């Protein structure tokens, strides 16, 4: 029997409230199979750590510290925004990766990210094969944008959806209280530059009796129709809540957030979509407004994570290791929905050739005909994903989150300059 | 023995995550003393409901509905921003209040709000006395701004402080993950136009190893010193978090949020302090940034309320009724701190003559000498206030919050036009 190969794990792109739960799933499952997997090395700051040979030795972390990753938001080993170019354009980066893997006896590559990293993962697998140093490359799905194909949902999304629905509900109660003499329109800006999945979660509060307007990137912004809709809701309910995706744009493609506004010094103003939408309401209708921009709070909010999401994040991490142990390569564990209510799912598998570079948008039948809300089909899809709570432990009023030692593996190769 | 008089309860000003817990304390305690208190009427939309004789009959609500108020954010009966003028300037509004109270046999006035409402409460008590219809007027403290005098803290503040500390901690973990190639500075804007108590709570995350800069309304903004501080922290830690109070202002008194910026149409831009601060960092240092504006989310976030705060909010409501039953008038229950660690407090009492129109600012020795952080004395003060969690129940992934029936009491008087 061949000696156990080491594994390499890296976090890629924007982090989430549950990406560390996937790391926990990978590491705990690998530790349970020492006959086949040696050490798990993590990339310091993602794939950059592999290129620069900055590897973290996760075997130096206690079982307790690794277990705590399950309830720790963000990327415990660091992540990065660094997209490898095509093989033709940048073959030497891929070759460097494989050289580092070879130097550290790495036979398993677990890459935890979205569409871009699925593509990188696929290419590493192909090139390693052709270079005579086969590596089992498994992609672990993660993205708050929920835009990976084949899998029913993406770990990270359910928790941001829960954050948005809970926050929009709570703020709507606030506005409802104040509307008689004060704020009548509350605007909440959420993430989602291309796909409206996150904004859609705001539509769930309609079932709680809240008048809500959702602005999707998929629906070009119709200012007059929007104004009329807000006015009708305020006249009927006394107030309304608007959930606007950062990717909401005018018919000409300009983002609402890029109004070309300038500050007093003539510098381009660093705007958000929420203040722009609030301004439109104010000018057209005169209603008092408040606006919030959730930004990183929404994807970091482990304290209000969805239990379903945490569980799935852990499971795809664990499944990635099991797929590798079963001999699979260039695949990604997926979440296959079996039923909506009661919610049932199982872990499946997709070939990376079908995952890489495919974006999944909201189906048109998930958005109401007027473009300002979500349909019952969308609600059936979303509801299970925000189910359940999984609060972290608290000490002295604050959540207990892991900060790892992140000890370096001594490098063995010459330095490599990043482009 | 005289027949039981009815009570009137109203919510005033900006609502909080726990003002309904005070309502719960008032109503549950009143219901336990039917020999002295008849019905509890609530003002629809606060004191306006008393002026317009829009009273809500809380006796129509079930015990379960009232109990659920304890875990429901915002104002269940509606609140308002409507400050009664001085007695001289607007005597007829005070006289109308007393006429309504008389018409509905109201002998107890419980007013749940901040400094302005303490003043109104005091005046109603005085005038009622002089008009020969004595009313026991008890103020129930509430304000996220934490700026009432005498009481050690104000119900509503502990929960927003916990929200800010938890959110800043989570977002800081996110930035720390991304800083190698992406965001290095995260700016979170929080409430507090005059006092920096809420921003101060962001300073608590320093003890978790997070490099954080706090910008207070109490400290005029020194742009060069700020830039130098941010740069030093980023150079040392790779990233930093800035918590900026909406009331932060330049030495000339101009708010950071009012940069006089215009949008593409020449309209004044509805800015926040956070994007302005982020822009300053970007221009001076070139660091990639993200910013968030928490706005209503922070004061509505019942899901992450402080258990200490919820408990105190309930207790001041209950104590207000007990004070009334004991014959007190023109007073406010207070929270008296007995010790920091272990945290112990008791409910005290302050005369409204000493509460009305007095604002409590951060003591200078709660802010570090450089003006960018909080001292150990401040941390000792803040830590107990965010202690403990008291999550609501959840159903289908969302919190279960009360929406009351809010049935009207038939009016008995002619209509009254609000100014």
| CATH at residue A189 | 3.40.50.460
Q: Are residues B236 and B314 in the same domain?
A: no
Query: In this structure, are residues A76 and A40 in contact, taking their beta carbons and an 8 Å threshold?
Result: no
Tell whether A174 lies on the interface with B, counting CB pairs under 8 A. yes
Buried/exposed code over A396-409 (b: 16+ C-beta within 10 A; e: otherwise) = ebbbebbebebeeb
Contacts of B12 (CB under 8 A, 6+ apart): B46, B47, B79, B80, B111, B112, B113, B114, B116, B117, B120, B142
Asked, for residue A317, whether it belongs to a domain, the answer is yes
Spatial contact of B55 and B39, defined as CB atoms under 8 Å apart = no
Q: Is residue A376 part of a domain?
A: no
Residue A259's pLDDT is 60
| Any domain includes B152 | no
Instruction: Provide the percentage of residues in chain B whose pLDDT is more than 70.
Output: 96
The whole model's pTM is what?
A: 0.97
| Residue A253 DSSP symbol | S
**Same domain as B306, residue B296:** no
Helix, strand, coil percentages (3-state) for chain A, rounded to 5, are: 40, 20, 40
Residue A368 covered by a domain: no
Tell me whether residues B81 and A383 touch, CB distance under 8 A.
no
Q: Identify whether A342 is preceded by a cis peptide bond (ω within 30 of 0).
A: yes
Question: Is any Cβ of chain B less than 8 angstroms from the Cβ of A394?
Answer: yes
CB within 8 Å of chain B, chain A residues 183-202 = 183, 186, 188
Of A257, A274, A300, the domain-final residue: A300
Q: Which domain-ending residue is among A259, A279, A300? A: A300
Mean pLDDT of B20-30: 98
Mean pLDDT estimate for chain B: 94
Contacts of A397 in chain B (CB under 8 A): 162, 165, 306, 383, 386-388
Residues of chain A with Cβ-Cβ distance to B259 below 8 Å are 263-264
Q: Which residues of B touch A173 (CB under 8 A)?
A: 72-74, 300, 401
Q: What is the pLDDT of residue B258?
A: 78
Confidence of residue B413 (pLDDT cuts 50, 70, 90): very high
The count of CB pairs under 8 A between chains A and B is: 256
Kindly list the residues from chain B whose CB atom is less than 8 angstroms away from the CB atom of residue A271. 269, 275
Reported ipTM exceeds the 0.90 cut? yes
Same-domain pairing of A260 and A176:
yes
User: Does residue A238 sit at the B interface (CB-CB below 8 Å)?
Assistant: no
The reply to whether B238 touches chain A by the CB within 8 Å rule is: no
**Cβ within 8 Å, pair B397-A386:** yes
From residue A319, give the alpha-carbon distance in Å to each of A23, A398, A417, B148, B237: 11, 32, 34, 55, 35
Check if B149 contacts A (Cβ < 8 Å): no
Does residue B273 sit in the same domain as residue B162? yes
The CATH number assigned to the domain holding B88 equals: 3.40.50.450
In the predicted structure, residue B1 carries a pLDDT above the cut 50: no
> Which pLDDT score is estimated for A88?
84
Query: Does residue A409 lie in a domain region?
Result: no
Cβ pair A270:B262 closer than 8 A: no
* Same domain membership, residue B307 and residue B237: no
Same domain, yes or no: A291 and A308: no
Residue in B165, B270, B302 nearest the CB of A398: B165
- The backbone region for A371, taken as left when phi is positive above 0, alpha when psi lies in -120 to 50, beta otherwise, is left
B82-138 pLDDT, tens digit each: 888 888 888 899 999 999 999 999 999 999 999 999 999 999 999 998 889 989 999
- Structural domain includes residue B378: no
- Interface contact flag, B178 A208, Cβ < 8 Å: no
Residue with tokens 């800083």: B179
List alpha helices for B247-349, DSSP H: 273-285, 296-300, 307-325
Q: Which residues of B touch A170 (CB under 8 A)?
A: 17, 73-74, 296-297, 300-303, 399, 401
d(CA B200, CA B245): 9
Contact call for A271 and B275, based on CB within 8 A? yes
**What is the average per-residue pLDDT within B26-41?**
98
Q: Residue A266: what pLDDT?
A: 54
Are B181 and B85 part of one and the same domain?
A: no
CB contact under 8 A, B292 and A295: yes
What integer pLDDT is reported at residue B191 of this predicted model? 96
**Across the interface, which of A270, A296, A397 has its CB nearest the CB of B162?**
A397
Structure tokens at B3: 């027949």
Query: Which of B88, B116, B119, B145 does the annotation list as catalytic?
Result: B145
pLDDT band of B418, cuts 50, 70, 90: confident
Same domain, A311 and A265: no
Angle at B15 between CA A389 and CA A244, to 5 degrees: 60
Shared domain check, A317 and A250: no
Cα distance between residue A27 and residue A57, in whole Å: 11
Which of the residues B12, B144, B291, B293 would you substitute to probe the A interface, choosing the one with the greatest number of A C-beta atoms within 10 Å? B293
A275 touches chain B (CB under 8 A): yes
Segments forming the whole domain that contains residue A354: 5-143+304-358+391-399
Of A82, A279, A293, the CB nearest to B292: A293
A217 and A336 together in one domain:
no
Low-confidence ranges of chain A (pLDDT < 50): 1, 263-264, 269-270
The answer to whether B175 contacts A296, with C-beta atoms less than 8 Å apart, is yes
A83 in a structural domain: yes
CA distances from A390 to A17, A37, A235, A414, B300 (A): 11, 30, 39, 45, 21
Residues A97 and A201 in one domain: no
- Partner B contacted by A176 (CB < 8 A): yes
Count of structural domains within chain A: 2
Asked if residue B419 belongs to a domain, the reply is no
pLDDT, position A1: 47
> Residue B2: its pLDDT value, please?
63
CB B22 within 8 A of CB B332: no
Are B115 and B249 part of one and the same domain?
A: no
Other Cβ atoms less than 10 A from the Cβ of A325: the count is: 16
Pairing of strands B106-113, B136-141: parallel
């Amino acid at each position: 029997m061949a000696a156990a190969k080491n594994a390499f794990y890296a976090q890629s792109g924007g982090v989430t409230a549950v990406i560390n739960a996937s790391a926990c799933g990978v590491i705990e499952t690998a530790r349970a199979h020492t006959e086949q997997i040696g050490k798990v090395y993590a990339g310091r700051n993602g794939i950059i750590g592999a290129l620069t040979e900055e590897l973290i030795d996760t075997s130096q972390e206690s079982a307790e510290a690794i277990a705590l990753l399950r309830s720790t938001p963000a990327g415990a080993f660091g992540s990065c925004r660094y997209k490898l170019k095509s093989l033709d354009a940048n073959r030497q980066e891929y070759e460097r990766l494989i050289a580092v893997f070879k130097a550290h006896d790495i036979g398993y590559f677990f890459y935890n990210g979205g569409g871009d990293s699925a593509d990188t993962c696929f290419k590493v697998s192909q090139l390693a094969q052709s270079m005579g140093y086969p590596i089992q490359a498994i992609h672990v799905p993660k993205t708050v944008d929920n835009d990976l194909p084949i899998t029913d949902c993406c770990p990270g999304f359910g928790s941001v959806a829960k954050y948005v629905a809970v926050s929009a509900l709570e703020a709507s109660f606030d506005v409802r209280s104040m509307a008689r003499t004060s704020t009548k329109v509350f605007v909440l800006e959420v993430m989602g530059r291309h796909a409206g999945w996150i904004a859609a979660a705001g539509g769930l509060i309609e079932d709680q009796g809240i008048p809500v307007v959702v602005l999707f990137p998929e629906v070009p912004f119709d200012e007059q129709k929007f104004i009329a809709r807000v006015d009708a809701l305020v006249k009927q309910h006394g107030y309304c809540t608007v959930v606007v995706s950062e990717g909401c744009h005018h018919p000409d493609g300009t983002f609402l957030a890029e109004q070309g506004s300038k500050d007093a010094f003539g510098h381009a103003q660093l705007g958000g979509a929420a203040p722009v939408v609030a301004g439109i309401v104010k000018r057209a209708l005169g209603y008092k407004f408040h606006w919030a921009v959730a930004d990183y709070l929404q994807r970091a909010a482990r304290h209000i994570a969805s239990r379903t999401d945490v569980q799935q994040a852990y499971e795809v991490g664990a499944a990635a290791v099991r797929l590798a142990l079963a001999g699979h390569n260039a695949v990604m564990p997926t979440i296959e929905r079996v039923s909506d209510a009661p919610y049932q799912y199982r872990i499946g598998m997709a070939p990376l050739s079908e995952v890489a570079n495919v974006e999944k948008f909201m189906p048109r039948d998930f958005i109401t005909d007027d473009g300002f809300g979500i349909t019952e089909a969308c609600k059936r899809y979303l509801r299970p994903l925000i189910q359940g709570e999984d609060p972290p432990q608290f000490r002295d009023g604050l959540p207990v989150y892991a900060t790892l030692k992140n000890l370096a593996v001594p490098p063995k190769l010459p330095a490599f300059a990043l482009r």
